Every structure is written in structure tokens, then in C-alpha cells.
Chain A
Amino acid sequence: MSKRIDVKDLNVYYGDFLAVEDVSINIEAKSVTAFIGPSGCGKSTFLRTLNRMHEVIPGARVEGEVLLDGDNLYGPGVDPVAVRSHIGMVFQRPNPFPTMSSRDNVLAGVRLNNKKISKGEADVLVERSLKGANLWNEVKDRLEKPGSGLSGGQQQRLCIARAIAVEPQVILMDEPCSALDPISTLAIEDLINELKDQYTVVIVTHNMQQAARVSDKTAFFNIAGTGKPGKLIEHGDTHTIFSNPVQKATEDYVSGRFG
């Protein structure tokens, strides 16, 4: 189910502006990797390049290679749409489709691509995905109600269920808890811990305690100043990064001396 990602010498540009410079990182399969760093350091931008979602932003482009189990995402003839069905994404704010019921939201990835699916298969898929997102018990009696009627935390788990219903190898999460209350955040963090049994998870977070709680590996990004590109400063075991980092900047950041 899950695959590893290897990034080699990646530069990200917005037009002529170099946003992220020279990132090389190996992300292990079936692990949770957290990206931390101050605002504007390019960690969300970098995350988006891992499933080519940055291409939605006009003018954004990359140089370098991102390998999914050895296949280059940016190789010739690669279809960005196919890339995204292998590498799913969960966003900062929960964004269920307002016109669809909870059930249809989970099936969205299948239905919107016009894949034929029988009702029985659909039921199985909905239940499996919602159970995978720890949401089944809460919504099983109101699957036909609009997904936007759920609470914020439930909506975010619905979005995770929607992402895993496509059966991706990797799930990217862009600050998935920043719009949620502490209890909902806890539910999502528990879920992330369970997801890594099956998926490779990459999460961007502003919250260092969260990074420490959920991740196996942590990558610290930093920026030298406004107008300068963001860089990967240090990458390693979460425990090492938080207790005994190699770089001074990392130590300053994780100990709360800036950022």
C-alpha cells in the first residue's frame, strides 16, 4: 500500500521568485514525517510539490526530481492527475463538498472520476474509509445528511476518509489541525498514529508539540529573511531533532528562542 518518497535537489519557483531552494530528503514508507519551521519558510509550498498540487497556483514550477518508489513525478509523460490519485492530500481547513452528503463525500474521488461502482462495493468502501478515519460510529446514522453539517473535527476526519477512499500510497497533510479545537486535534493525532500502519504520512505543522507527539521523523525548514528562499535545515529522527539537533538554528527554533 505505501511507498517511499525521495526528493533530489528540488527548487520551487513562483514565476522568477525562488521560493524553496535545493531540498533533498528521503521519506520512509509507513512512517510519519513532520515538517516544522517558521511561517513563510516554504514548508507548505514544498509539501504541495510532492503531489504536484502547486501547479494549481499560476506561475508555480519546480526543478529537480521527486521519486515515488523510484518513479519520477516530474518525468516526461507523467499525468499530474494520476500523481494525485497516488498521493492524497488533506488541507488546512476542512473542505467537504457542500453539495454532497457525507456518503457522497467519501465516494467523491471514485464517483467524480466516473468509475463504475456497485452499491454493495460503495457501501463497503464507505464503511471501510470512515472506519479508517475513526468517524464511522459518529456518522453511520446520518450518511445521507450534508457533510458540511458535521462539526469541524468531524469534517476534517471526513476529508481524511475521502482521501483514503481513493487508496493512495501517501497522504499529505497541510496543517490539518490548525482550524480545530484541542479535542478534535487529539482525535486527528490519534488517527495519524493509526494511519501510519498503512500509509506514508507527511504532515506540515506549526505546533512543535504536535510534531513531537505524532511523527517519527522531523524536517526543519527555515528562511534567512524575507525575499530569500526557504531551505531544509535539518532532517532526522524526531527524538534527535527535539533533544539533540545538529544545527544551531534548529535548536533555537525547537527551544522556542525564535519563530
Chain B
Amino acid sequence: MTSTLTPVRSKRSALTKGQLPRYAPYAVLAAALIVGAAIMALLGFNPFGWGLVSALLFAIGLVSWSAAVEGSRKAKDKLATCLVVGSFLVALLPLVSVIWTVLVNGIPGLIDPGFLTTSMNGVTGAFDNKAVESGGPVMGGIYHALLGTVQITLLATVISVPVGLLTAVYLVEYGHDGRLAKAITFFVDVMTGIPSIVAGLFAAAFFFVVVGPGTKTGAVAAVALSVLMIPVVVRSSEEMLKIVPNELREAAYALGVRKWRTILKVVIPTAISGIASGVTLAIARVIGETAPILVTAGFATSINSNVFGGWMASLPTFIYTQILNPTSPSNPDPSSQRAWGAALVLIILVMILNLVARLIARIFAPKTGR
């Protein structure tokens, strides 16, 4: 802030006159923390309240000091900054809280022997009661749910990726902004907004009509997830195909290469990193979907490796049922331990998928380095 033109640095130049000293925020923060602690000491101390009160005091203190020294315009600027930073801190609270809750509650479940390798087949309330009363190990695990999630998600991916990618190819390479292309773009947008439970109901209703009432299998769930996944794949692939430079297509055409080979061998390979990372993000999004699976695959406690027959468990529905309908209604703690363990596994899966998406985007991006 000091002007480099004035050799005398000890004096405040005309440009820095009427400003708060640089230490002002720190001083106000320290004062706010101390006064906040004092107020909380009177009301009964808790760290959350202390943070809240101190933040309020800090904002009020800094803004009023600024108003006194710098005038109302600067004070408004300070107020806006406080609000913006404050809203950011407020938004962080639930994230930290969610992750903390899942970690604290989930780790005991996860490190339970057999949690990842056994199913809930034959695990009844009696086992849970015994585990609570005599302190034995919590029986049962999520193997069946993990298997179900992997199968349903894989099948959904197998359905969605070809359809989504081909649609994106149509929109970018063949549609020429015609009426059909515009209609598809519009309805893909509409599809993005379908509530997940409605997608589930659609798949259920479709199979009820086509196969028979009450049809609930992993495949029905996969169809429901595809309805949610296809628009995501279309949108991300479309974006990626669009940024492939036209010059590359022209270069291939000028070599006497057919359009479909140009698309398959030049356009898609150039965009593949973005497409793959978009697909991975789409998988990450549907892998945690609960509602559509709830109404399409039912619940199961035993291992079912056939997606086309019988009810099937999945991680999200497992969490849901273990919380809402504990295996032993009188002793819900083992169930909630299993639910949090499953939630932790699910979050880890989603995080890994997100990281993988980032890595794919970075590693397989076309190389330009020398």
C-alpha cells in the first residue's frame, strides 16, 4: 500500500490516508474471540456457540470500525466480505459434520471381521440381541449388497454408455442442428430433471406391463438407473465431442477416410479422456441412488448373483433398511453400526470414482508436450 514514489516510508502517504491499519482484522478477531469466550462463559460454554458468537462479534466490530474510519462504502465492502466468507464457512459445517459422523460411526462396522465378506442371510434379531447383551461380535455383513450394487451399476453402465455416446455422436456429427437434434437436446435436458424415484417407478411400471405385475429384479433397477445415467452421459460426451477441433475431422476426410471411421478412430480417441471421466462421474452419481432401487429391486438379505431373477440388495437400500427397519427392533445398535459401515464403504466408492475420473481426464488427455 505504501507508494514507492515517496522515499519517506514512516509517514503515511496521501494514498493510504483514512485506511484501517493492516493489523485491524487480526486485532478485531482476537477481541471477538475473547469477548465471545466471556459471553459463552456466562451462558454455558460450547465450542459451536463460541464460534458463532465470535464470528458475529468479528463482523460487527470490523464493519463498525471501518464505518468510523473509512466511511460507509468501505464498510459495506467489509460487510459483504464478511457475509460471503461467513456463508462459505457455514456451508463447510455440514460437509465436515457428515464426513465426521460417517467416519466415527462407520469405522467400527467396517473393521468388524466378515463385514465385507458375509451377507445378512440367516442373521436375525436374536443374533443382534445376543451381540448387545453379551458383547459378542456383530454378525452379518454387506457382501450381498456390495455385489448387488456392482452388478446393477455395471448393467446400467453397459446400457447407458453406448446409447448415450451414440446419441452424443448423432447430435454433434449428424444432427446439423436439425429439428430432431433440437428435440433430442431438449428432452435430454428434461430427462436430467426426472426425479430418481420417478425413474424407478417408470422402470417398475414398464416391467409390470411387459413382464408381469410385481417383477422386481436387478435388471429392472439397472433400467431405472439408466434413465438417470443416459442424460448425464449424453451431456458430458456431447461437450467433449464438440471441443474436438473441426480441423482434425477435415484432415481425416482429406485423406479419403470415411466419416464413421473418422469418428471412431480420430474424433472419439481425441475426446476419450473427457468422455471416460464423464462416464465415471455418471457412475459415481447413480451408484448412490437409493429410491429407484428401492422400488425396482426390492430388498434381499442373501447373495443373489443373477441380475435377471429375484430380489437384489444394494448398498444404498441396505443402509436405508438397516436404519428404518433394524434387524432387531429392540436393539437397533448393531443394525445402525452395519448401516454406517455400509455408508462409509459407499462414500469411499464414490470418492474413488471421482478421483479416478480426475485421473483419467489428466492422464489420457491428448499429449502436447515435446
Contacts and interface: CB of A to CB of B under 8 A. Distances in A.
Interface of A: 51, 53, 56, 58, 81-86, 88-91, 93, 95-99, 108-109, 111-114, 145-146, 148-150, 159, 162-163, 166
B299 to A, nearest CB: 46
B257 to A, nearest CB: 4
Contacts of A53: 250, 253-254
B224 to A, nearest CB: 36
Nearest to B366: A98
Contact of B256 (A84, A93, A149, A159): A84
Contacts of B368: 98, 146, 148-149
B112 to A, nearest CB: 47
Given A95-B245, A95-B247, A149 B367 contact: yes
A91 B255 CA distance: 12
B258 A56 contact: no
Contact of A93 (B247, B266, B272): B247
Interface string B236-271: 000000000101111111111110011001100110
Interface of B is mostly: helix
Contacts of B247: 91, 93, 95
Given A83-B256, A86-B256, A113-B258, 6 more contacts: A51-B254, A84-B256, A99-B266, A112-B261, A149-B368, A166-B256
A159 B254 CA distance: 11
Contacts of A86: 256
A114 B261 CA distance: 9
Nearest to A98: B366
B270 A159 contact: no
Given A98-B270, A112-B266, A82 B251 contact: no
Nearest to A108: B255
A148 B367 contact: yes
Nearest to B258: A81
8 contacts: A56-B253, A86-B256, A97-B248, A97-B252, A98-B248, A99-B270, A109-B256, A112-B266
Nearest to B364: A99
B170 to A, nearest CB: 15
A111 B265 CA distance: 9
Nearest to A55: B253
Nearest to A114: B261
B261 A95 contact: no
Contact of A112 (B265, B270, B272): B265
B176 interface: yes
B73 interface: no
A146 B253 contact: no
A219 B30 CA distance: 80
A182 B248 CA distance: 25
Contacts of A108: 252, 255, 257
A114 B256 CA distance: 12
Chain B residues touching A, range: 20 to 34
B255 A162 contact: yes
Contacts of A163: 254-255
A114 B262 CA distance: 11
B266 A97 contact: yes
B369 interface: yes
B270 A81 contact: no
B179 interface: no
B370 interface: yes
B245 A149 contact: no
Interface string B136-160: 0000000000000000000000000
Nearest to A166: B255
Contact of B366 (A84, A112, A148): A148
B255 A97 contact: no
B182 to A, nearest CB: 15
A122 to B, nearest CB: 15
Given A95-B250, A95-B251, A97-B270, A81 B369 contact: no
Contacts of B265: 111-112
B256 to A, nearest CB: 3
Contact of A56 (B250, B256, B369, B370): B250
B251 A81 contact: no
Nearest to B247: A95
Contacts of B253: 53, 56, 81, 84
A91 B252 contact: no
A167 B343 CA distance: 61
Nearest to B255: A109
A67 B251 CA distance: 23
Contacts of B369: 146, 149
A56 B176 contact: no
B256 A99 contact: no
Contact of A98 (B255, B256, B367): B367
Given A56-B250, A112-B252, A99 B269 contact: yes
Contacts of B176: 58
A56 B246 CA distance: 10
Contacts of A109: 255-257
Nearest to B271: A99
